[in-house]
Amino acid sequence: MSDTPLWVALVPSSQERNFQALMQAHHYLGALPKIGDTIWYVATAKDQWLALLSFSAPSLKCSAHDKWIGWSYRHQYDRLHLVANNSRFLILPEHHHKNLASQVLSHCRRRIQQDWLERFGYPPLLLETFVDPARFHGTIYRASNWILAGSTKGYRRTREGYERTQSSKWVFILPL
């Protein structure tokens, strides 16, 4: 794997069904539809899919990132579009290779601002992601220089508003 060049590219529209099917089959949270500003990436080597990523609009309320950034309540909604949420990251089961995850994140970091600008008209200035500490340690984000900004309060957004979840998540951020 270390000799093979790694590529990260936007998922072509002709492959979106395949992306969603793989995400549904292998990610513990399942697939996530494109709602609002969303970009899907696929990491490949030798034309073989290795990893899938989704970046989407950020959480509407997240005191951990608001506090880290220094946003007041009156400024956060005007600036929220400058944050992109790494809402899904999946290394496909047969491709758990050493350092692959951090390499994929690095490739995404280098290209997401331009891709986001071309697609939505502005670049994100900050990436965020949520890690469930009951399942993961955040190792790939730590290894990729993301900053642990704090924890959520244990709620998730639903169509009806917000509901309490079983646990809070760690909030990792990466200034661009």
Q: Residue 164 is part of which domain span?
A: 7-175
* Number of separate domains in the chain: 1
Highest mean pLDDT among 69-78, 117-126, 163-172 belongs to 117-126
Range 13-23 average pLDDT: 97
Is 21 inside a domain boundary? yes
Q: What is the pLDDT of residue 36?
A: 85
Tens of pLDDT, residue by residue over 105-130, are 999 999 999 999 999 999 999 999 99
What CATH number is given to the structural domain containing 68? 3.40.630.30
- Is residue 2 a part of any domain in this protein? no
- With 0.75 as the threshold, say if the pTM is over it: yes
Residue 1 forms part of a structural domain: no
Spatial separation of the C-alpha atoms in residues 3 and 51, rounded to whole Å: 17
Q: What local confidence, expressed as pLDDT, does residue 161 receive? A: 62
